[in-house]
Chain A
Amino acid sequence: MSDYKTIHGISIRDYTTDPDTLITGQVWFDKTNKVLQFQATGAGAWATGGSLNVGGRYGSGFGTQTAGLYFTGLRQGLSGDRTETESYNGSSFSEVGDMNTGRSTYGESGVGTTTAGACIAGYSNPGSSNYDNVENWNGSGWAETTDINTARRAGACTGTQAASMIFGGFTSTQVNQTEVWNGSSWTEVNDLNTTRDNMASLGVTTAALSNGGSPGPTAVTAVVESWNGTSWTETTDINTARNALGGSGTATEGVVFAGRAPSKSGHTERWNGTAWTEQNNMSRNVAYVGNATASGTSTFTAGADSDGNPSAPAACEEWNEPTISTKTADTD
Chain B
Amino acid sequence: MAKTYQYCVAENWGKGFIDYEESTRITFKSFPGDVWQVPAYNKHGNLWIAKVAGAVKTKDEAQTIVTAKMDAAQTAWDNDNVEGESSDEKNARLGSKPEDITLEE
A128 CB within 8 Å of chain B: yes
Is A332 an interface position by the 8 A CB rule?
yes
**CB of A97 within 8 Å of the partner chain:** no
Cβ-defined partner of A125 (8 Å) among B23, B25, B92:
B92
Q: Which B80-99 residues have C-beta < 8 A from chain A?
A: 82, 85, 89, 92-95, 98-99
Docked Cα-Cα span, A288 to B15, in Å, equals: 22
B23 contacts A45, CB within 8 Å? yes
Looking at the assembled complex, report how far the CB atom of B69 sits from the nearest CB atom of chain A, in whole angstroms. Answer: 4
A20-60 interface code vs B (CB 8 A; 1 in, 0 out): 00000000000000000000001101111111000001000
CA distance A51 to B16 in the complex (A): 11
Query: Of B23, B30, B31, B82, which one neighbours A47 at CB under 8 angstroms?
Result: B23
Contact A126 B20 (CB under 8 A): no
B25's nearest neighbour on chain A, judged by CB, is A332
Q: A308-B69, A309-B70 are in contact. Are A51 and B24 (CB under 8 A)?
A: no
Q: Which of B14, B69, B94, B101 contacts A48 (CB 8 A)?
A: B14
B14 and A311 contacting across the interface, CB-CB below 8 Å = no
Contact B12 A48 (CB under 8 A): yes
Q: Mark A267-286, 1 if CB is under 8 A from B, else 0.
A: 00000000000001101110
CB-CB under 8 A from A266, the residues of chain B are 29
How many residue pairs, one in A and one in B, have C-beta atoms under 8 Å apart? Answer: 86
Do B93 and A309 touch (CB < 8 A)?
Answer: no
Residues of A with C-beta under 8 A to B76? 309
User: Contact partner of A49 among B15, B36, B92, CB < 8 A?
Assistant: B15
Q: How many residues of B contact A (CB 8 A)?
A: 35
Please tell me if A116 contacts chain B, counting CB pairs below 8 Å: no
State whether the Cβ of A151 lies closer than 8 Å to any Cβ in chain B.
Answer: no
Determine the distance from Cα of A268 to Cα of B52 in the docked complex, in whole angstroms: 25
Interface of A, helix, strand, loop or mixed by DSSP: loop
Q: Is the CB of A128 within 8 A of B92?
A: yes
CB-nearest residue of chain A to B94: A311
A316 within 8 A of B: yes
A-B contact pairs, 16 of them (CB 8 A): A45-B24, A46-B18, A47-B20, A48-B12, A48-B15, A49-B15, A126-B89, A280-B27, A288-B95, A307-B98, A308-B73, A309-B33, A309-B70, A309-B73, A311-B95, A315-B12
Binding site for A on B (CB under 8 A): 12, 14-20, 22-25, 27-33, 36, 69-70, 72-73, 76, 82, 85, 89, 92-95, 98-99, 101
Beyond contacts A128-B89, A307-B98, A309-B69: 7 other A-B pairs, Cβ-Cβ < 8 A, are A46-B23, A48-B19, A125-B92, A266-B29, A288-B95, A309-B98, A320-B23
